[in-house]
Amino acid sequence: MDGRFKLDNQLCFRLYTASRLITQAYHPLLAQHGLTYPQYLVLMTLWEKDAQPVNDIAKRLMLETNTVTPLLKRMEAEGIVTRSQGKKDARQMIVRLTRKGHGLQTKLMSVPETVGSAILCESVTPETVPGLFTMLDDIILQLKGKQG
């Protein structure tokens, strides 16, 4: 068998599996607050800077606007965010955290540390994590460049 087609030789499979398992590690921590992982990512974006256009949130999450919009609609229905037309440009939809959305930051304070601790192992230590970030950022930049 050609080694190029062995699953064990595929970096993409390892990245996919690691991503899926990390997302699963978030699930019980977020579910108790009625959140999904993508909603958590939106919240982190808005905790960094509130009152952002949908396009900016989508760009920050490296997603398409039509992927983010239904997510934001659900979050609005749950009272986590509000969406309103932009004052300068009525075509822009501005997303803001509600009091509930701001309050979730305190409730979820331990999540990054809990999941971060869960991935620590022999080769992934607090000292090696910055290098791992650099490698993953390089892969992301390389692939984004190839997509135009």
The yes-or-no verdict on residue 118 having pLDDT over 60 is yes
Domain assignment of residue 81, yes or no:
yes
The SS3 assignment for 137 reads helix
Distance CA 130, CA 146 (A): 25
Residue 88 forms part of a structural domain: yes
Which CATH number fits the domain that encloses residue 55? 1.10.10.10
Across residues 7-24, what is the average pLDDT?
A: 95
Total-model pTM:
0.91
Residue 96: phi and psi, rounded to 5, are -130, 145
Structure tokens, 4: 């190029």
Number of domains composing the chain: 1
Higher pLDDT, 11 or 87: 11
**In sequence order, what E strands does the chain have?**
52-53, 81-85, 93-97
115 lies in a domain?
no
At residue 148 the predicted structure's pLDDT band, cuts being 50, 70 and 90, is low
Task: State which residues form the domain around 71.
Answer: 36-98
Provide the pLDDT for residue 35: 97
Top-confidence residue, 63 or 91: 63
